[in-house]
Amino acid sequence: MRIIAGEYKGRQLKSVPGHLTRPTTDKVKEAVFQIMGPFFDGGDALDLFAGSGGLGIEALSRGIDRTIFVDKSPQAIHIINENLQKLKLEERSEVFRADAFRALQAAAKRSFSFKLVLLDPPYGKVKIEKILQKLLDLELVATNTWVYCEHDTSEQLPAAHPRLSIVKQANYGGTICITIYKVN
C-alpha cells in the first residue's frame, strides 16, 4: 500500500493485519482521486471506517488541510497512528476510536463541515445510505462536498437524492463498487 500522488507520493503505508480490513487498492485510489480532483485546496476531510488511514492520508498528501480518522478497531487505530507518525502528519490529523454514528454526533457538536468524506465500511455490516442521511441531517457537509463510498456490488446506493448527485459509479473486479457523490 502506498500513497499515489502529492507531497508524500510513493511513501509506503502499513496495513491492518488480518482479513477484517481490506485496503483500497492503488488502482481504485488513483481512479477515484482523479475524479474528485487530483489535488485539493485545503479544507477538512473525514475518513470514517478508516482502517489503515490510507484514503485520508492520500487526501492529506493531495492538499486537504486536516483529516479526522475514525475506526472502532483498536488495531486499526494503532496502524493509523503509526502511519501518521511515520509521515509526521500528527498535527494535521485527529484519530478517534468510535462507532461511526457516535463519531458523526461528536463532529456535529464541534461544528465540523467537511470538504471530503470517505466512506469504506465493512461490507454488509453498515448501510451507507444511513450514514449519508446522517451526514446531511447533522449538516456535516456543505454544497460541493465530495462523498466517496466504497461498497459491495450487492449494495445499491440511491441514484436520485434531493441533496446528492452521483458523479461516478463504477465496479472494480466484480466485488468492489464505488459511488462518488457531490453535495448539491
Q: What does pTM read for this prediction?
A: 0.94
Confidence label for 32 from pLDDT (cuts 50, 70 and 90):
confident
DSSP string, 133-180: HHHHHTT-EEEEEEEEEEEETTPPPPSB-SSEEEEEEEEETTTEEEEE
Distance CA 68, CA 50 (A): 9
Q: Residue 147 pLDDT > 80, yes or no?
A: yes
Confidence label for 175 from pLDDT (cuts 50, 70 and 90):
confident
Tens digits of per-residue pLDDT, 60-76? 999 999 999 999 999 99
Tens digits of per-residue pLDDT, 124-145? 788 999 999 999 999 999 999 9
Q: Residue 117 pLDDT > 90, yes or no?
A: yes
The predicted structure's pLDDT at residue 30: 86
Q: Residue 48 pLDDT > 80, yes or no?
A: yes
Higher-scoring residue by pLDDT: 88, 158: 88
Q: Which residues of 34-45 are buried (b: 16+ CB within 10 A; e: fewer)?
A: eebeeebeebbb
What is the rounded average pLDDT of the residues 99-104? 96
Q: What is the mean pLDDT of the chain?
A: 92
